């Protein structure tokens, strides 16, 4: 597990950028944390790191937003409004197995709501500090944290 202190929004975005520059097709990021913890901010950085210039907005109502103009496709999901049985019906493995879609990066907000998880994923847990500070705990499950991310300075 890797813990990073994120002093402000820019730090969270920067972490996302570094992830976006170093992740590989098929990587899944499971984001957990309260409303306003910075999940979407991190995914916005991730999109920037992938070279996506479209503005990334939270798919709270659309469930999934797909961005295809970057180095790899980005599939951004938000499970906030769903019950676990509704999540199961989405067949999310389509995205992380890249079966019927081009393999890309899958970033899932409110991953707490997942009734099952992929075989490998990066767990990203955001928590509040004082005011604009956040803390992030990143735990790789059957995958590795890239050198670029592991040696980041905030």
Please answer whether residues 69 and 53 qualify as being in contact, where contact means their C-beta atoms are separated by less than 8 angstroms. Answer: yes
Residue with tokens 């300075």: 153
Three-state secondary-structure class, residue 95: helix
Q: Which residues contact 104 (CB under 8 A, 6 or more apart)?
A: 25, 26, 72, 73, 74, 75, 98
Which residue, 57 or 101, is less far from ligand ADP as judged by CB? 57
Can residue 18 be called a binding residue for ligand ADP (CB under 6 A)? no
37 binds, among Mg ion, ligand ADP, none (CB under 5 to 8 A by kind): ligand ADP
Which one of 12, 18, 27, 146 is in contact with ligand ADP (CB under 6 A)?
A: 12
Residues 130-149 that bind ligand ADP (CB under 6 A): 132-134
Min CB(41)–Mg ion separation in Å: 8
Q: Across-strand partners of 59?
A: none
Could you count the other beta carbons within 10 Å of the beta carbon of residue 46? 28
Can residue 40 be called a binding residue for ligand ADP (CB under 6 A)? yes
Residues that bind ligand ADP (CB under 6 A): 6, 8-9, 11-12, 33, 35-41, 58, 109, 132-134
């Amino acid at each position: 597990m890797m813990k990073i202190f994120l002093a402000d929004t820019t730090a969270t975005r920067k972490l996302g950028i570094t992830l976006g520059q170093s992740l590989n097709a098929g990587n899944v990021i499971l984001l957990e944390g309260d409303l306003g913890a910075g999940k979407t901010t991190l995914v916005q950085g991730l999109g920037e790191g992938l070279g996506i210039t479209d503005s990334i907005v939270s798919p709270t109502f659309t469930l999934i937003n797909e961005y295809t103009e970057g180095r790899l496709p980005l599939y951004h999901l938000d499970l906030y409004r769903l019950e676990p049985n509704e999540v199961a019906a989405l067949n999310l493995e389509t995205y992380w197995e890249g079966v019927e879609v081009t393999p890309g990066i899958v970033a899932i907000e409110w991953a707490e709501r997942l009734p099952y998880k992929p075989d490998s994923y990066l767990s990203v847990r955001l928590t509040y500090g004082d005011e604009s500070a956040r803390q992030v705990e990143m735990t790789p499950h059957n995958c590795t944290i890239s050198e670029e991310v592991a040696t980041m300075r905030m």
